[in-house]
């Protein structure tokens, strides 16, 4: 039988981008240990709607840790206290009955708040548009194994490709840097033959766009890797910097 829990929440409420925001206290008495954190917010919203109050706005989609739509600061930690877990897969068994949990949106200049816990992460989209793709003519699909790829490179490329673009790395970074996200999107292409051709051009375009969006620079705190739900390595940032410098000297 599921253990019933009473959870006290301090939730950031903000009516719009220009409106002042504040933390508002709520109590959910119908929580249980098997709920995900987003299901807890669903229960809270049912309570608020029942009282004729505005529900708390937050982003979610797949709720399976795949899409990257969800993103919350839970108890001051991006995605909450459980490592390598998106907030949609964070369950209430990670907390204790009677806990008080502060819930806030991502905090970064490049992620302006839209309403409550929802932020505008379209800056990530513009970084991808700047160069996160293969544009060289590749012709028809090659036969299987026609392009030999060493296993460790294929594995590393897949590790970087696991990035879901949630923005936790930005929220955790004291500089509000998107370096881990950008590096992951660069590395997973650079490690494969089809993407290697444009490595330097792609890196320069995406890094320059990252700076234009107002993200800060990396200063090697590695908080980004610590909170990343997919465990993306900061080694990708070093790879990105090397490719950028090659592009600078080649130009």
b/e sequence 205-219, b meaning 16+ C-beta within 10 Å = bbbebbeebebbebe
Residues 183 and 237: beta-carbon distance below 8 Å: yes
What's the CA angle centered on 130, arms 129 and 132, to 5 degrees?
A: 70
Residue 138 has pLDDT above 80, yes or no: no
Confidence of residue 3 (pLDDT cuts 50, 70, 90): confident
- For residues 138 and 155, which has the higher predicted lDDT (pLDDT)? 155
Residue 247 has pLDDT above 90, yes or no: no
Confidence of residue 251 (pLDDT cuts 50, 70, 90): low
Query: The tokens of 12 are what?
Result: 């950031």
Residue 114 has pLDDT above 90, yes or no: yes
Confidence of residue 2 (pLDDT cuts 50, 70, 90): confident
Q: In which residue are the tokens 């080694």 written?
A: 235
Distance set, CA 63 to CA 18, 81, 158, 248 (Å): 29, 17, 22, 41
Report the predicted TM-score, pTM, of the whole model to 2 decimal places: 0.93
Confidence of residue 117 (pLDDT cuts 50, 70, 90): very high
DSSP readout, 29-45? EEEETTSBHHHHHHHHH
pLDDT 10s digits, 63-109? 999 999 999 999 999 999 999 999 999 999 999 999 999 999 999 99
Residues 46 and 78: beta-carbon distance below 8 Å: no
CA nearest neighbour of 218 among 232, 195, 238, 201: 238
Distance set, CA 10 to CA 75, 100, 198, 208, 209 (Å): 9, 7, 47, 38, 35
Span of 12-26, 62-76, 156-170, 237-251 with lowest mean pLDDT:
237-251
Strands of the chain, DSSP E: 4-14, 21-32, 73-74, 77-78, 100-104, 113-115, 118-119
pLDDT 10s digits, 192-241? 988 888 999 999 999 999 999 999 999 999 999 999 999 999 999 999 99
Query: The tokens of 199 are what?
Result: 């490595």
pLDDT at 242: 93
What is the rounded average pLDDT for all residues in the chain? 94
Residue 34 has pLDDT above 80, yes or no: yes
Bridge partners (DSSP) of residue 248 are: none
CA nearest neighbour of 14 among 6, 24, 4: 24
CA nearest neighbour of 189 among 160, 165, 167, 166: 160
Span of 8-17, 133-142, 145-154 with lowest mean pLDDT:
133-142
Span of 3-7, 105-109, 121-125 with lowest mean pLDDT:
3-7
Instruction: Determine whether 143 is exposed, middle or buried from the number of CB atoms within 10 Å of its CB (0-12, 13-18, 19+).
Output: exposed
CA nearest neighbour of 230 among 131, 161, 149, 163: 163
pLDDT at 82: 96
pLDDT at 94: 94
pLDDT at 153: 93
**Phi, psi values for residue 20, rounded to 5°:** -70, 150
**What domains does the chain contain, in order, with CATH numbers?**
4-104 (3.10.20.30), 121-249 (1.10.1060.10)
Residue 187 has pLDDT above 80, yes or no: yes
Instruction: Report the run of H or E that residue 207 belongs to, with start and end.
Output: helix 199-212
CA nearest neighbour of 188 among 212, 225, 162: 162
pLDDT at 19: 96
């Amino acid at each position: 039988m599921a253990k019933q829990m009473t959870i006290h929440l301090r939730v950031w409420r903000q009516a719009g981008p220009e409106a002042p925001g504040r933390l508002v206290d709520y109590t959910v008495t119908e929580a249980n240990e098997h709920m995900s954190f987003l299901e807890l917010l669903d229960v809270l919203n049912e309570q608020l709607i029942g009282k004729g109050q505005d529900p708390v706005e937050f982003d979610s989609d797949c709720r399976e840790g795949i899409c990257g739509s969800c993103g919350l600061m839970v108890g001051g930690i991006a995605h909450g206290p459980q490592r390598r877990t998106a907030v949609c897969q964070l369950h209430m068994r990670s907390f204790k009955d009677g806990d008080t949990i502060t819930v806030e949106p991502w905090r970064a200049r490049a992620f302006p708040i839209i309403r409550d816990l929802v932020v505008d992460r379209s800056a990530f989209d513009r970084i991808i548009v700047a160069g996160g793709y293969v544009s060289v003519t590749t012709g028809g699909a090659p036969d299987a194994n026609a392009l030999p790829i060493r296993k460790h490179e294929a594995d590393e490329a897949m590790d970087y490709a696991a990035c879901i673009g949630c923005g936790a790395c930005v929220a955790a970074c004291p500089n509000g840097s998107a370096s881990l996200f950008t590096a992951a999107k660069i590395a997973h292409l650079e490690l494969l033959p089809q993407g290697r051709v444009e490595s330097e051009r792609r890196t320069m375009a995406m890094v320059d766009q990252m700076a234009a969006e107002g993200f800060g620079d990396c200063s090697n705190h590695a908080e980004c890797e610590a909170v990343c739900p997919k465990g993306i390595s900061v080694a990708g940032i070093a790879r990105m910097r090397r490719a950028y410098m090659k592009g600078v000297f080649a130009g």
